Structure 1
Amino acid sequence: MKVKNQKCIRRLSYKSLWATRKRNVIAIFAIALTTLLFTSLFTILMSLNESYETYNFRQVGGYSDGTFKELSEEQVEKIAAHPGIREAGERITCGFNTTGVFGKVPAEVSYMDKNCTKWSYATPTTGREPEKSNEIAMDTVALKLLGVTPELGAKVTIEYQAGDKTNGGFQETDTFILSGYWEYDDLMPVHYINVSKDYVKSLEEKWMASGEKAFRRDLNVMLPSKLNIEQQMQKIDTDLGYDWNTRDQENSARIGVNWGLTASQLNAGMDPELLAAIAAFLLLVIFTGYLIIYNIFQISVTGDIRFYGLLKTIGTTPRQLKRIIRQQAFLLCVGGIPVGLLLGYGIGAWLTPIVLKGTTVVGTHVTISSSPVIFAGSAIFAVITVFLSCTKPGKMAAKVSPVEATKYTECVSVKKKRRSSHGAKVYQMAFANLGRNKKKTVLVVISLALSVTLLNVLCSFVGGFDTEKYISQQTCADFIVSSTDYFRYNDADEYISEETIAEIQENTSETVSGSGYTTDMTTMVWMDTEQYKKMAVPYLGEEKLEEELEYYEKRGSEIKTPTILEGLDETLFEKVTVLDGELDPLFDENTHAIAIRVHTDDYGNVENVERYPKIGDTLTMVYQNMYWIDTRTGKPADPATTPEEYVEIREEEPREVDYTVCALVKVPYAMTFRYSGLGYDTILPAERMREDCGAELIRKFYLFDTPDMEAENAAERYLAELTAGDTSVLMYESKASIRSEFEQFQKMFFLLGGVLCAIIGLVGILNFFNAIMTGILARKREFAVLQSVGMTNRQLKQMLVQEGLFYTAGSVVVAFLLSLVCGPLSGDMMEKMFWFCTYHFTILPVIAMLPVFAVLGCLIPAVLYQAGSRQSIVERLREAE
């Protein structure tokens, strides 16, 4: 039978809550603390994520979700109007400059609409975007490189190559009026030079009049969701009948996902270990909050058990008792959660810059997230935690009978013992008190132990960051020097000259040194068709691969496919790792041997070894010289300046050389061309390569090692000075810069993990504080009775202090045991998730926390007892009654 008693139940909840308001202050404090834990952690994590994303976006050159590439004007309109697009921004690229003052950071001349300008960090902070055909906007550093003072109305003359970067173009020089400018960001990959749409249209007409296609149009887009961006863009293409896998076709609409988005990275790299780590972290946070709140509610219900028994005697049902406790929990949430949200966000916002200070991930661009997800998520987590925490105490109150409730006391069941004539010992009483409520004791011990265990795991994790392993993966030499073209993967006639190398050698101390070489000839290899398919299918797909094979020259079961051939100075072969075979035949004048470079994952494991030829197999390499002539004169032509209709490609007679595969080798990435093709990547000694191809080699880079740290520091200073300045075409990589970057990365993890440990440690300490405090409040009558029969204040305080020491001693023991179990498990997971991590077991953090816990175990009970013992024994006995 239903009875309308909701109002009565609410009144009972409120009145009983008000009657125990002093104790409920502790509960509100606990809820606020739990909410603070969630909010501060979410604020730090989301701020870290946003700062990391912003850092990536600045490197990418924009923060749109993705880009539809190389579109026609009609495609731009159709895609922008698709319901799956939230916002769109158009960009028309009409030229570029990668030489001279723009040798280090290239410049791109283009029209951008307002959305694209905003998303590309190219909105003028002074002035406005170009509107007239003679107006221009650019960053301050680009203006400085051109010798122009940033002033609105200043004349700016730019020289650039108009047209498509991949197909050449024609030189263009124009003078504009500066309509706007903004500060340059050092992380940006290009200097954006923005012109008006009218200017681009007029230039495009000139470009198309020479027989070329329209300028490249890209459409940057924002989508409804940051998840599964690639699938969303593919669906848009499919809906409109476009193909994202082809190029230069009428229905081609290639797509690109912004790799700076964390969601896209997680979507691409989500694995079971990462999912398990995220789930474990969330469970740890929820459990930490659960520990503190459950303990409070259990003690509150225990204290009110007689009240609930009396309610049962007048007809209150178990369901109504549970509702009373839930309503009390809700009222406590109303008081605690808002405070926790405000304090947590403030602490998170304060800690984020400290955690990220000095790291290369954000530099000076620290972003404090104000996402509603922080507050909504924290509040939901807190409410869930509170209601989970009050479920079991609610059941306990609902099950107890009225008779049991009136006689209820927090007691311990003990075995019968022999009587002692020496009386009870204080430490025995303290130890026995821990058994009065074993669940509470276990919860307090675990909450304290968790923070120490987490600290131990964190120290093992950060201490396992292997700097040398990371450096060896990123580079293979103390210094690698070349031009900006090499580091940007651009083709060039010369990368680094003999004169520059001689100058470097004269000013540095070197041990091992050498160069890598390429040739301006086309290098091809006859390759088994089935073998090529094995290598190409993962990248091209079955359908596109079959189309591509139609264009290859065939010979029986083989096809002639492009290959990457790298020549190395003999000294550099000591940096090459032989996985199978041997390198000696490469240097034998009587043999023609070649080594195959294999691809490995981050852990050094060979990927798909079946793709590669076996030792002793024969490879036929084809060297072919191709050149352009001007059909009007019959002389060599420059395709960038000669009209396309007069350019003709000529081929010299190819030279074929048969090689025997002598080794499968691993070549450090930093010592390669830093890109790869679908065919084999092959290695030869530089002298043999020069003889076989019959042409001069092009030196791509120069690398060297130094004998000691002093020489390394001196070389670092010299190369920094040599490559300084915006007009220098030289760049370099060094172990020192990689080491510094890795140390900052390590520091960020340690600070972030340290903050997490500190917050969870604080929760553990406050849980301990609450357990002792609520225990003292709940046992006031008991303490008064003990004192009335002769127990002194000193003995009572000593008993509480020893209880505290037992708590903390138990926590250290549990932390030690948890570390023994969790250490190897987390270490194995860390090594799988982070290839540069080498796990080392340690117990030092647990040992280091011993004195801290000893102080806490003595100080907190003593202070709390002192604060609560101001009333007389008679007053406490009367109050308890």
Structure 2
Amino acid sequence: MNVKNRKCIRKLSLKSLYANRRRNLIAIFAIALTTLLFTSMFTIVLSLNASYETYQFRQVGGYAHGTFKDVSPEQAERITAHPKVKATGARKVIGITAEGVFAKIPAEISYMDANCTKWSYATPTTGRMPESGKEVAMDTAALQLLGVTPELGAEVTVSYSITDKDQTAFTVTDTFTLVGYWDYDELMPVHYINISRDYADDIEAQAVKTGLQPFRTDLNVMMASGTNIQGQMEQVDTDLGYTWDSYTDPNSVRIGVNWGYTSSQLESQLDPELVIAIAAFLLLVIFTGYLIIYNIFQISVAGDIRFYGLLKTIGTTPRQIKRIIRQQALLLCLIGIPAGLLVGYGIGAVLVPVVLRSTQLDAGITTISTSPVIFVGSVLFALLTVLLSCSKPGKMAARVSPVEATKYTDAMQTKKKQRSTRGAKLHQMAFANLGRNKKKTVLVVVSLALSVTLFNALCAFVGGFSMEKYVSFMTCADFIVSTPDYFRYNPADEFITPEQIEEIAANTKASLSGTGYAVRKPAYLWMTEDALRQDYARYESAEQLDSHMSRLEHRGNMVMGDTRIEALDNSLFDKLQVFDGDISPMLEPDNNAIAIAVSLDDYGNLPNPEYYPKVGDTITATYADDVKYIDSRTGELRTEDTPEEYFQAKLYGARDVEYTVCALVELPNSMSYRYGGIGYDVVLSVDTAQRDSGGAAIPMLYLFDTADEVDEAEAEQYLSKLTAGEFSPLMYESKATARSEFAQFRQMFLLIGGILCAIIGLVGLLNFFNAMMTGILSRRREFAVLQAVGMTNRQLKTMLIYEGLFYAISSVAAAFILSLAVGPLAGKMLGSMFWFFEYRFTILPVLLTIPVFLLLGWLIPCMMYDNAAKCSVVEQLRDAQ
């Protein structure tokens, strides 16, 4: 028979809840603290991510999800109409200026529509966007460089090169009317000079008349979701019948994903270790909240077990008892969760700027996230934790019989009782009290040990960051000096000059110095067809690849491929990491030795050894004075009407040089061309390169190390002054900058981890506090009886202090064991995630917590007992009935 008694059960639940107001406050505080843990964690993580993404967007130049590149008007219209595309913004670049005042930070001259302007941080804060004719909008820094005061209506004269795709036509100097401007963002990679569509179309028409192809239009897009951007954009191409992986297919619409989005980076870097680490972290947080709330509900149910037994005698079912406990938990959540949300979000909002101030992200971009994920996620996790926590105590209350309930005590039954004739010792009594409810004791010890273990893991994690590895990866020398073209990865006819190198050398004290040279005449290296196919396969389909390979010059199974030859002064060969072979033959005069630059992974392994020639092999390089493309059908120079499949390179003044591969080396990126491409990267001595290229090796960079910190500081000061200002032709990078970035990175982890440890430690302390307090409250009758038979207040207090100290010592011992077990496993996982991490076992943080825990083990029982002992023994006996 189904009895409608939900209202009665609800009323009973409310009355029971109201009768235990003090215990309810503890439960509410525990729920609020657990919610605070989730909320502050989500707020910090999502706010840091939002700030990081904003920082990345500003470096990229915008926050559109991605770009469909070089689209026709018809393609743009079809892409815009696709259901996965939420919004689009078009941009047409017509030119660039990278000389004079714009030598360090170039300026792009382009037309942007309203959406593209917004997404590119180029919306005028004063004035408006260009609408017609020679109207222009630009940032204030660019105006200052041009010597123009930011005033609407001012005349702005700009000289720029008409440049699009890989074609350059002519230089234009025009005077525009300023109709809008905005403050310059120092993180932006370029200055945007925005023009009207009319002007862009007019310049394009002039360029086409000179033989150029029509300018490209890129379509920036916002997709339906910010996750799996790459997959969504590929799906759009597939649905519309386009390909996205070819530079030559006329039906190809290539795509570019904004790498500033964290989701884009995770999708490309996601591996099992990272997934496991994230899952383990979330489980740890949930378990931490579970420990405290479960302990509270378990103690609460144990205290009310006689009440539940009486309910069962009058017909209450186990299911109804579970419902009573669950309703009480949910009612407490109505107070605890909102409080935790508010306080947790406030703590997160306060801590985020503190964390950011220690990082390079602190550039006026602190973003406090208001994502619904923070609040919805925190509520769901808190509710899940509460429901899991009250589930087992509810089963215990539902399972107990009325007879067992009347005899129930907090102690667990033991198989055998031992008698002693020597009298009771206080420490023995305290130790025995901990064993009365082993489950509760274990929960308290584990919750305290978790915070210590996490703190120890954090110290091991941060202490394992190798500054030497990080700095050596970022730069291979104390100082590297060159022109802006080099640091912006632009090919140039001239970089740093010998005169500039001499001036720098004369004003700095170097323990090692040298110059890296670029070969500035056409040079090719003959390589196997299989190796060259590996390079081209990244950009072309199989059919296009076969066509391309057929147009290249062959000698048997060898194909003439592009190459990048870098020549080094002999002193710089010490900077190379030799993977195989020996570089000493390259130091001999009149040598014909060459080193192949290989790409090693973050751990020093060569992922594709079959791609490279072997040490001892003989390879041929072809140098030329010039190269032009001809029509393979006629042998004449190609024209704009020549189909691409008939393009063929013709070398003028070609000559072959045979080299012996003496070594496979890793060339530090910081002293290389800094960009890759098709074919091998190789290293020669400067004398050999000058001899074989006909004197075409030009200085590309100058680097040097210093003997000590004093010399390094003086060089830093000198180079800082030398390269200051927009008109300086030189730029430099130094190890000091890399060290600063490393320190900021390390400090960020230390702060975030320290905050998490503090919150989890607070949870553990609350569990300790709650266990001691509820233990004292539930044993008031026992304490009163002990006092009645002669135990003094001092002895009783000492016994409780022993209990607290046992808790503390047990927690430290458990943390020590957990650290021994978890440390090496966590170190291995972190080592696979962070290439500059070196695990070093440490137990010092655990040892440092011993005096803190001993103090708490003494202080908390004293406070609890002094509060509980205000009543007389008679009153305690009466209250305990």
TM-score category, normalised to shorter length? over 0.9
1:662: which partner in 2? 662
1:71 aligns with 2:71: yes
- Give the whole-Å Cα distance in 2 for the aligned partners of 1:127 and 1:108: 20
Q: Aligned partners of 1:414, 1:700: CA distance in 2, in Å?
A: 82
State the AA in 2 paired with 1:775: G
- In structure 2, the residue matched to 1:742 is 742
How far apart, in 2, do the equivalents of 1:710 and 1:759 lie? 43
Q: 1:166 to 1:534 in 2, by over 3 A?
A: closer
Match of 1:277 in 2: 277
Q: How is 1:6-25 mapped onto 2 (pairs within 5 angstroms)?
A: 6-25=6-25
8 Å CA contact 1:52, 1:362 repeated in 2: no
Q: How far apart are the structure 2 equivalents of 1:604 and 1:649?
A: 37
The residue aligned with 1:454 is 454
- Corresponding residue for residue 604 of structure 2: 604
Q: In structure 2, what is the equivalent of residue 705 of structure 1?
A: 705
CA distance in 2, matches of 1:628, 1:132: 40
1:150-169 equivalences under 5 Å are 150-164=150-164, 166-169=166-169
Relative to structure 1, the CA distance from residue 441 to residue 238 in structure 2 (aligned partners, 3 Å threshold; closer, same or farther) is same
Q: Deviations for 1:238-260, whole angstroms, at most 9, x for unmatched residues?
A: 11122212235432211000111
2:365 aligned residue: 365
Question: Shift of the alpha carbon at 1:431?
Answer: 1.1
Q: Distance in 1 between matches of 2:169 and 2:178?
A: 25
Residues in 1 aligned to 2:522 and 2:319: alpha-carbon distance in whole angstroms: 83
* Deviation at residue 588 of structure 1 after TM alignment: 4.0
Q: Give yes or no for the alignment of 1:463 onto 2:463.
A: yes
2:498 is aligned with 1:484: no
Alignment of 1:101-250 (within 5 A): 101-164=101-164, 166-247=166-247, 249-250=249-250
Kept after mapping to 1: 8 A contact 2:563/2:679: yes
**Structure 1 residue 272, shift from structure 2 partner:** 1.1
The 1:544–1:428 alpha-carbon spacing in structure 2 relative to 1, beyond 3 Å, is farther
Q: Distance in 2 between matches of 1:775 and 1:311?
A: 25
Aligned-partner residue type, residue 71 of structure 1: V
Question: 1:96·1:165 contact (CA, 8 Å) conserved in 2?
Answer: no
Q: Within the alignment, does 1:584 sit opposite 2:553 as a pair?
A: no
Q: Percent identity?
A: 61
Give the Cα–Cα distance (whole angstroms) in 1 for the partners of residues 319 and 439 of structure 2: 24
Structure 1 unaligned blocks of 5 or more:
630-636, 640-647
- Displacement of 1:63: 0.9
- After TM superposition, give the deviation of residue 770 of structure 1 in Å: 1.2
Contact 1:620 1:659 in 2 (8 A): yes
1:376: Cα distance to partner?
A: 0.3
Cα deviation, 1:554-598, whole Å, max 9, x if unaligned, reads: 222221111111111111112222222222332445652211111
1:95/1:165 contact within 8 Å kept? no
Q: For residues 485-524 of structure 1, what are the structure 2 equivalents within 5 Å?
A: 485-524=485-524
The 1:543–1:400 alpha-carbon spacing in structure 2 relative to 1, beyond 3 Å, is farther
Question: In 2, Cα distance between the equivalents of 1:256 and 1:576?
Answer: 34
Matched to 1:302, the amino acid is A
**Distance in structure 2 (CA, Å) of the matches to 1:676 and 1:58:** 25
1:513–1:704: 8 Å Cα contact kept in structure 2? yes
Aligned partners of 1:216 and 1:418: how far apart in 2?
91
Aligned to 2:309: 309
Structure 1 partner of 2:634 = none
Report matched runs for 1:827-846 at 5 Å: 827-846=827-846
The two structures have a TM-score, normalised by structure 1, of 0.96
CA distance in 2, matches of 1:11, 1:367: 46
Letter of the 1:197 partner, please give it.
Answer: R
What is the distance in 1 between the residues matched to 2:541 and 2:824? 41
Q: Which moved more, 1:159-168 or 1:146-155?
A: 159-168
| Structure 1 residue identity aligned to 2:379 | A
- State the SS of the aligned residue for 2:69: strand
The residue that corresponds to 1:643 in the other structure is: none
Using the TM superposition, give the Cα deviation of residue 538 of structure 1 relative to its aligned residue in structure 2, in angstroms: 5.3
Does the aligned pair in 2 maintain the 1:535–1:611 contact within 8 Å?
no
Aligned to 2:378: 378
Deviations 1:384-403 (A, max 9, x none): 00000011101101111111
Provide the C-alpha distance between the structure 1 equivalents of 2:246 and 2:421, rounded to a whole number of angstroms.
95
How far apart, CA to CA, are the structure 1 residues paired with 2:152 and 2:41? 46
Q: Which runs of 5+ in 2 are unaligned?
A: 630-636, 640-647
8 Å Cα contact 1:108/1:190 also seen in 2:
yes
Name the CA distance, whole Å, in 1 between partners of 2:23 and 2:864: 14
Q: What CA distance in whole angstroms lies between the structure 2 residues aligned with 1:809 and 1:569?
A: 63
Aligned partners of 1:542, 1:441: CA distance in 2, in Å? 67
| Matched residue, 2:388 | 388
Q: Do 1:88 and 1:115's aligned partners in 2 also have CA atoms closer than 8 Å? A: yes
1:848 corresponding residue in structure 2: 848
Contact 1:517 1:568 in 2 (8 A): yes
Q: Is the 1:70–1:254 contact (alpha carbons within 8 Å) kept by the matching residues of 2?
A: yes
Give aligned pairs, total.
865
Cα offsets for 1:44-72 (capped at 9, x unmatched): 11111111111111110111111111111
713-722 or 677-686, larger mean C-alpha shift: 677-686
| 2:226 aligned partner, one-letter code | K
Shift in Å, 1:267: 0.5
2:632 matched to which residue of 1? Answer: none
SS at match of 1:550: helix
SS at match of 1:67: strand
2:260 maps to amino acid: G
Q: 1:862 to 1:587 in 2, by over 3 A?
A: closer
* Aligned-partner Cα distance in 2 for 1:247–1:412: 75
1:574 maps to which residue? 574
Which stretch has the larger CA shift, 588-597 or 331-340?
A: 588-597
1:534 Cα deviation after fit: 4.2
**Partner secondary structure for residue 755 of structure 2:** helix
**Does the CA contact (< 8 Å) of 1:163 and 1:207 recur in 2?**
no
Alignment of 1:42-57 (within 5 A): 42-57=42-57
RMSD between superposed Cα atoms in Å:
1.9
Q: 1:588 to 1:16 in 2, by over 3 A?
A: same
> Residue by residue, what CA displacement relative to the aligned partner does 1:497-534 show, whole Å, maximum 9, x if unpaired?
11111110111001211111122211112222123234
| Structure 2 Cα separation of the partners of residues 581 and 249 of structure 1 | 42
CA–CA distance in structure 2, aligned partners of residues 547 and 382 of structure 1: 61
2:772 is equivalent to residue 769 of structure 1:
no
Alignment match, 2:791: 791
SS of 1:219 mapped into structure 2: strand
1:60 and 2:50 correspond? no
CA distance in 1, matches of 2:544, 2:769: 67
TM-superposed CA distance for 1:546, in Å, is: 2.5
Bigger Cα displacement from structure 2, 680-689 vs 860-869: 860-869
Pairs within 5 Å for 1:684-695: 684-695=684-695
Distance apart, 1:418 and its partner CA: 5.6
TM-fit CA distance, 1:414: 4.4
Q: State the Cα deviation string for residues 582-623 of structure 1 (Å, max 9, x = none).
A: 223324456522111111011111121111111221111111
Q: CA deviation at 1:761?
A: 0.6
Letter in 1 for 2:167: N
**Letter in structure 2 aligned against 1:464:** G
Question: Does the aligned pair in 1 maintain the 2:35–2:344 contact within 8 Å?
Answer: yes
1:799-810 matches, cutoff 5 A: 799-810=799-810
Q: State the AA in 2 paired with 1:530.
A: D
Q: Secondary structure at the match of 1:122?
A: coil
Shift of 1:178: 1.6
Q: Secondary structure at the match of 1:465?
A: coil
CA drift of 1:166 comes to: 2.2
Matched AA of 1:735: K
Structure 2 counterpart of 1:441: 441
2:245, 2:539 within 8 Å by CA — same for their partners in 1? no
Counterparts of 1:541 and 1:836 in 2: how far apart (Å)? 37
2:399 maps to: 399
The separation in 2 between residues aligned to 1:342 and 1:273, in whole angstroms, is 34
Shift of 1:307: 1.0
